[in-house]
């Protein structure tokens, strides 16, 4: 069962929880970027790839985990 996470008045469907260790470049043996990126920038790129892989539109941080989420849109009332 998927969980709903509320942040700043918005509701998000949590698709996947990712621990910090899974986006650490050293986990994948990346010690140096050939493009001159810092380890933090490489971590952000890894998060972007995971976000696309799981068809998510938002990444939230909660404690020591990242939440890959899909935004739950408000219902439109049609009269």
Q: Quote the pLDDT of residue 68.
A: 95
**What pLDDT was estimated at residue 36?**
82
Blockwise average pLDDT, block size 10, the chain, 79 residues: 88 93 80 78 88 94 93 84
pLDDT at 67: 94
Provide the H-helix boundaries in 1-79.
Answer: 39-53
pTM of structure: 0.79
What is the Cα–Cα distance from 72 to 4, expressed in whole angstroms?
9
pLDDT of residue 22: 85
User: What pLDDT score was predicted for residue 15?
Assistant: 94
């Amino acid at each position: 069962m998927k969980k709903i996470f509320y942040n700043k008045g918005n509701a998000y469907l949590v698709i996947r929880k990712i621990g910090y260790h899974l986006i650490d470049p050293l986990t994948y043996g990346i010690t140096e970027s050939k493009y001159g990126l810092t380890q933090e920038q490489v971590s952000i790129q890894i998060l972007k790839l995971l976000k696309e892989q799981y068809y998510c539109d938002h990444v939230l941080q909660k404690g020591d985990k990242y939440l890959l989420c899909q935004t739950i849109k408000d219902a439109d009332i049609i009269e």
